[in-house]
Amino acid sequence: MRITAKTTAPLIFTLAIFSTSVCLAGRPLTVDDANVGDVGTGQVETWYARQADGADVLTVAPAYGLMEGVEIGASWSRDITNNVNTTAVQAKFRLTPSLEQGCNVGAVIGVSQPNDGSDNTPYLNGLLSCNSEAGSLHVNLGANHPPGGPTLKSWGLAVEREFGAVTAHAEYFGQEQSSPTFQVGLRAELLKNVQIDGTVGQSSGDALFSLGLKYQF
């Protein structure tokens, strides 16, 4: 995955890991699910986020179902406050079939690049999704290797459930050397194939929120 740290570049990168291209979980989740879009279908997500460090970030993230079990995605994030752009590209794989009642696994591999002259950061994320009548559980375990630093482990846990036309979620995620984030969110269909969503959360005692739209085609 979404792809929340205390510094701008790790923050945007963490979101790129978790949330660049999500399908069943979707915005506004930051923790990714283990599913991919159908072949020939795609989506474009865009959202504004006020981060825990006070930075205002705009993100656009398209994704496309390239072949059975494979989805390609990208993201472009603009940190308006600190004048930093970060791009990411990735491939997402559904490794076992999705189940309405049961679990499946997936994986993401990608690379993130800020425009501050530093080298790119490769990342890998393992995904687990379990579905039941009570809702869905998503678990992420991953790692990334920023330039000039050690490999950092990342993790995330999310639960979501439908309540009529609205789907609610709660999630907890983080990365080594950064404070974890807890947030809750809602999403609903605004128009056909158009979703509106939002989150509120906290990291290290600081509030954060996001508002977004997703168009599916």
For the stretch 68-94, pLDDT in tens is 999 999 999 999 999 999 999 999 999
Q: In the chain, where do the E strands start and end? A: 42-50, 56-67, 70-79, 84-94, 102-114, 121-132, 135-144, 152-163, 166-175, 181-191, 194-203, 206-216
Amino acid found at 81: T
Instruction: Measure the CA–CA gap between 84 and 184, rounded to whole angstroms.
Output: 27
User: Considering the entire predicted model, what is its pTM?
Assistant: 0.87
Please indicate, yes or no, if residue 3 is contained in any of the structural domains: no
Q: What's residue 26's pLDDT?
A: 66
Mean pLDDT of 183-198: 97
**Residue 139 φ/ψ, nearest 5 degrees:** -125, 135
Mean pLDDT of 150-179: 97
Q: What's residue 118's pLDDT?
A: 79
Please indicate, yes or no, if residue 1 is contained in any of the structural domains: no
Instruction: Measure the CA–CA gap between 16 and 33, rounded to whole angstroms.
Output: 14
Mean pLDDT of 109-138: 94
Domain CATH number, residue 35 = 2.40.160.40
Please indicate, yes or no, if residue 212 is contained in any of the structural domains: yes
Please indicate, yes or no, if residue 121 is contained in any of the structural domains: yes
Q: CA 117, 124, 141: angle at the middle one, nearest 5?
A: 125
Token duo for residue 202 = 């906290």
Please indicate, yes or no, if residue 2 is contained in any of the structural domains: no
Please indicate, yes or no, if residue 178 is contained in any of the structural domains: yes
Closest of 22, 32, 142, 29 to residue 71, by C-alpha: 22
Quote the radius of gyration of the chain (alpha carbons, Å).
Answer: 16
Token duo for residue 42 = 């795609």
Please indicate, yes or no, if residue 137 is contained in any of the structural domains: yes
Q: What's residue 17's pLDDT?
A: 43
SS3 assignment, position 20:
coil
Q: In this predicted model, which residue has the larger pLDDT, 26 or 192?
A: 192
Domain count, the chain: 1
Strand 121-132 and strand 206-216: the pairing is unpaired
Tell whether the model's pLDDT for residue 112 goes beyond 70: yes
Please indicate, yes or no, if residue 42 is contained in any of the structural domains: yes
**Residue 8 φ/ψ, nearest 5 degrees:** -65, -55
Tell whether the model's pLDDT for residue 127 goes beyond 50: yes
pLDDT (tens digit per residue) in 1-58: 444 333 334 444 444 444 333 332 468 999 999 999 999 999 999 999 999 999 999 9
Identify the burial level of 93 via C-beta atoms within 10 angstroms of its C-beta, where 0-12 means exposed, 13-18 middle and 19 or more buried: middle
**Residue 160, number of CB atoms within 10 A of its CB:** 22
Position 163 confidence tier, pLDDT thresholds 50, 70, 90: very high
Q: Which domain holds residue 149?
A: 8-216
Average pLDDT, the chain: 89
Distance between start and end Cα atoms, the chain: 20
